[in-house]
Chains A and B, each alone.
Chain A
Amino acid sequence: MKTLKEVKIGETCKVVRLHGEGAVKRRIMDMGITKGVDVFVRKVAPLGDPVEVTVRGYELSLRKADAEMIEVE
């Protein structure tokens, strides 16, 4: 299973499904990372975490630990 955490900077991937449960998962979905959406990994913070992605036309930052919950193609 490949997750968003493993996607390299500058690459675009398609979300397959979200794992985990509760607040963090719901929050990620509320922010527009849902099944089938394209996510572009834009950059990583200077200290190596979190990452910045472009989804549905805007910029979103999330921690690598949370990115691990997102399964991608």
Chain B
Amino acid sequence: MKIKIALAGNPNCGKTTLFNALTGSNQFVGNWPGVTVEKKEGKLKKHDDVVITDLPGIYSLSPYTLEEVVARNYLIQERPEAILNIIDGTNLERNLYLTTQLVELGIPVVVAVNMMDVVNKNGDKIDTNALGKALGCKVVEISALKGTGIEEAAEAAIHAAQNTKTIPQHSFSGVVEHAIAHIEEVAVHTLPEEQQRFFAIKIFERDEKIIEQLGLTQDNRKHIETDIEAAEKELDDDAESIITNERYVYIASIIKQCYKKKNNGGLTVSDKIDKVVTNRILALPIFAVVMFIVYYISVTTVGTVATDWANDGVFGDGWHLFGIGAGEYEDVSGEFGDAANVIDAFVTAEGADDVADAIDTESDTFDASAAASALDTFAASVSDDATADYTLVDEETLAEEDVTYTGAELKEAVATYTSYGCEEPDPADYGVWVPGLPGIIESGLDAVNCADWLKGLILDGIVAGVGAVLGFVPQMLVLFIFLAFLESCGYMARIAFVMDRIFRKFGLSGKSFIPILIGTGCGVPGIMASRTIENERDRRMTIMTTTFIPCGAKLPFIAMIAGAIFGGAPWVAPSAYFLGIVAIICSGIILKKTKMFAGDPAPFVMELPAYHWPTVSNVLRSMWERGWSFIKKAGTIILLSTIIVWFTTYFGVVDGAFRMLTEDEISNSILATIGNAIAWIFAPLGWGNWQAAVASITGLVAKENIVGTLGILYGGGDGTVYSNMASHFTVVSGYAFLAFNLLCAPCFAAIGAIKREMNNAKWTWFAIGYQCGFAYLVAFVINQLGSIALGTANVFGIIVSIVLIVLFIFLLVRPYKESTTLSNRAVKVK
């Protein structure tokens, strides 16, 4: 027989540790339908027929938080065969509050008192037999961390599922019991007997969701109402408070019987840590230091190394194993490159085509010794005082720098160049070189004479797409270790405590700080970091706004715009960050007042759990679960969209024939056709040319692609990329172009992460739509109002801009009241 056991308990009581200990690696992690609350299921070790469901951590079965509703609906509707209720032995009083509600459900309950090792160490005593008698269910002692008592707890739950019933021992005061008895008779007598009490109490509490579920008639409700009112009058409180109060009074009486606290009076270690960490003066500096460490390691140092390794190594040319030979190769490759530049400068200046042909390694007739002698002759023919001008182009931003070389330098360069055999140094000759996947696959495809288009699809479409998915994972894992550590040691709750005051003003949680901070490095792990925010509304808001902050991949693009259009003005880059921060703040304030968000309350009544040292296995497991869920849930969308963009970029009609294109022919591509067709949309933003539209689309694959695409589209012809761009954009339309691409939908990888974290198609589209719409309007206003300064404004555009600004201000300042009930929409959990 299959047995379902639900694992229930407060947050921070060791539930996850127990679940991991019970199920081992036999887990399935997903989401509860339609919501972002995580759902975990697993088979009990050594019992294939026992499934354990890990319910969200909850304090109560009230209907006010999503986690509570999810847990409650599961218990009522799925009716597991038993509930294993884990409670924290060091925090008995509040933990038992949930227990008093669970025992009323009519499902057999086994209580597992966790952290018994700590309780014993403190010298406290818990009489579990007496506790079991008082609660009406079996109570076992465990330590999830040490692994003691766990199997006994599971066996007890299985035994309870098959053999026993849990009958609540607690009764409320006379007048309440009278009302409950009456309710049972009137409203719930059709339900199985053991379930009646739970529903009757909920009806007494006027729990709208239960009343709706039961479909009570108006008549019955009125009838019941008189009983409830009588009780309320007698006890001078509202029904909900009466029930809660009496539960806690009852718990206090149980505690007196079965719990002996050895009063040591002194501060615990956790208290001492907290005294320093959330100290009024030290809290912010300590917070800054912790954030710096997280950022420095997961973004700046280890994270960058990991991302570069994944993107440029595994999914690029290759990498030096353990970095052996990497430095040496970089030196020689730099030296060779410099020498090649000098030679190129003189060969071009002197028009020495024969030399250029001789050193062309791509040519079929290339011969190293012939090339060397051609160079030597050429260098000898140039006098030491001769000069040649050259323009160096930065690989990342395409920024240009003019230099002048002398004949003396040429002679040195030729010497260096020939010493390498006139061929670029091969990284494989230095240290231990591991070739990248594309290289390996390419040589494999070449060996079987694969068609060019298929090779392109596999290498530039599929492999690059998979690379886009997996390339972020190493960095993400580094970050997830930190998050798991901060969460399980208890500091994450303190971050919310310290930062709440600032962030709640714009509808975010204090914990939103981390996603946004990480977002300055890369939006993908930034969005994934929002997982630590418990409140669904805050989490959604954070997911939607995190990518407004410029990420690392946007920096080359910002530098390009600054260099090409603003003559390298130093204020452009800081203004991009400023724009991002303002966008987050304004969006937060506007969105929290919209229908989508205003529905749900965000009470900030939060436990600050005791600090404790997390276990390595829990941290690693959490890291892996989050990383894997990104690969699985975000992977498909990233892969597919990368392939589609690749296809439209590299295929097109040339001279009436549809074929695959080379890199320089992008102006004939399908994408260019699309760009032409949609360019008019961007005309009001000041950059209605197809090149800019196409670049924005390729930017969706990865934001740094914008630079490369613009380089191809504005390259060629007269002038440089930068000068061509300068002639296509004014300062105003250039900035509008920048603003749009900073704020609009992020890259596909980030969109995949948004989809994963929203776990809801409607919300994903809402997020993308909002970002694009917001970006469009901001760019529109910048262009239209900026045009006034240039004297090219049109009246219509100015009027629309002013209307937009007025509307924007209205949305920012309009009054709004925080809701106090969970909206129905959020709770349609089946």
Residues of chain A touching chain B, judged by Cβ–Cβ distance below 8 Å, are 17-18, 21-32, 34-37, 43-50, 52, 56-63, 66
Contact = CB atoms under 8 A, between A and B. Distances in A.
Given A26-B62, A26-B244, A29-B241, A45 B822 contact: no
Interface in B477-526: 493, 496-498, 500-502, 504
Given A23-B821, A52-B608, A47 B501 contact: yes
A32 B94 contact: yes
Interface centre among B91, B497, B605, B610 (most CB of A within 10 A): B605
B328 interface: no
A24 B91 contact: no
Interface of B: 59-60, 62, 64-65, 91-94, 97, 237-238, 240-241, 244-245, 248-249, 274, 278-281, 283-284, 493, 496-498, 500-502, 504, 601, 603-610, 820-822
Contacts, number: 127
B724 to A, nearest CB: 50
Contacts of B609: 59
A45 B92 CA distance: 27
20 contacts: A21-B820, A23-B65, A23-B601, A31-B59, A31-B94, A31-B607, A37-B248, A45-B278, A45-B501, A46-B278, A46-B279, A46-B280, A47-B502, A52-B278, A52-B608, A56-B93, A59-B608, A60-B605, A60-B608, A66-B604
Q: Would you call the interface of chain A mostly helix, strand, loop, or mixed?
A: mixed
A62 B606 CA distance: 7
Given A23-B821, A45-B278, A50 B608 contact: no
A36 B607 CA distance: 20
A17 to B, nearest CB: 7
Contact of B278 (A28, A43, A56): A43
Contacts of A49: 500-501
B241 A58 contact: no
B62 to A, nearest CB: 5
Nearest to A17: B237
Contact of A66 (B93, B97, B241, B603): B603
A59 B237 contact: no
Contacts of A43: 278, 280
A48 B244 contact: no
Contacts of A56: 93-94, 248
B501 A58 contact: no
Given A34-B248, A46-B280, A27 B603 contact: yes
A24 B278 CA distance: 24
Contacts of A32: 93-94, 97, 248
Contacts of B241: 17-18, 25, 29, 34-35
B237 A61 contact: no
Given A46-B278, A63-B500, A27 B284 contact: no
A57 B280 contact: no
B339 to A, nearest CB: 57
A30 B497 contact: no
A1 to B, nearest CB: 16
A59 B606 CA distance: 9
Contact of B64 (A23, A50, A59): A23
Nearest to B286: A46
A11 B605 CA distance: 20
B603 A23 contact: yes
B608 A45 contact: no
